[in-house]
Chain A
């Protein structure tokens, strides 16, 4: 008798140990945030997908489909929050922060004027978010430009076809145990000590398969 195999969505682990972001994010925060909240979204989505025609979609397809042009289906919040959290964990690394490497730094200087302008705008945007949500650095595919914006609750830039480069979780559960109401310190620590420019660079290279950031390079025969 053949065993039935169900290939639902799994919980992806952060690419570092749960205490590796200390002292900026505590092990307890990650245990709850990844091991409790992120896991909860995966469990709930799998429960929904088990009885749904959406079974078999990639996560990206699932997010775009269930966003349903701004009238989200019940699966949307869970699907998008799984993707957002995976993306968030990989937006950080131990000993992160510092300056982005050359090619990315150039693009940031082109689109924001300077790294410090970019940094200020990111922090300001995060501080202005009211309620739960996310702050993003994303490549706008039409404008071919890096842009900072925030989204409420589970909204993910994939739904507009933009290509996220960095995502910061601004739900209170992300920082409350470690920073209480000191949002500014959380965001500044993220910029100075956690942000993974390594991931951002890899994401920019991938993005350039979809968006040409310079003059088109047409091979001449």
Chain B
């Protein structure tokens, strides 16, 4: 068995766009275009990137909510890339997901009890009484009163609803939880509560997180390692402790420069990226970032940069032809 709980090798997810009278494939969205990384037991890996860079797709593909186009996903040494949904059933207990919008991720027609009972029913766990106890326990763990059981999701605030979503995700004692922007739909005051709950649960249950967010400061706070994505590719993989001091990819540098500093006297030069993210239907040739990179050279336009390790002491991979040579901000 490898050292990783979850290992992804050259994962690709392309969405076909059909059109015309005969519904032929007229285009392809290259949502994920060759993603490789590993997640160790107990660590938190942050995934950051702009909207549309494929981070949500990656999260969903990892859980086989989408079927990958190519590549491999290994979970606890087992290849789950293309096994059938029924043989996936046991793996489903061990990898779960927390969704972005707590208003959408709970079925508004079900009571909290029904929502939390479903995982146990599906996996035929426990008797009615045992399930009841476990639901009470779950509610306690996520900090909701037991009286919440018979209420409907719309009777709760956003933060409370997210707690219900977290309770559902940890109901089956998973090892890996993919958190898909779990706090970005919440008020800032609630965000820290939910983040602390997630950290507390990680300690208590030994969870491994893949934490997806577009807010680098949140990811930096919660993660051990950070993966920066751009247009379906990983551009940099770095320890969260060194992301502020030592970002090597120009895109990461731009993201880091956008983190607000809580000190009005500090003047910081921000890198403002020009233009929009190119369409993933027609990704640029060469380095995907070259259309917006301030250091762009000829080689960037033609040759795709491989993800290479740039540190002797730790894992710090960067996909840039000029990594380490570029100016810092």
Bound together:
no
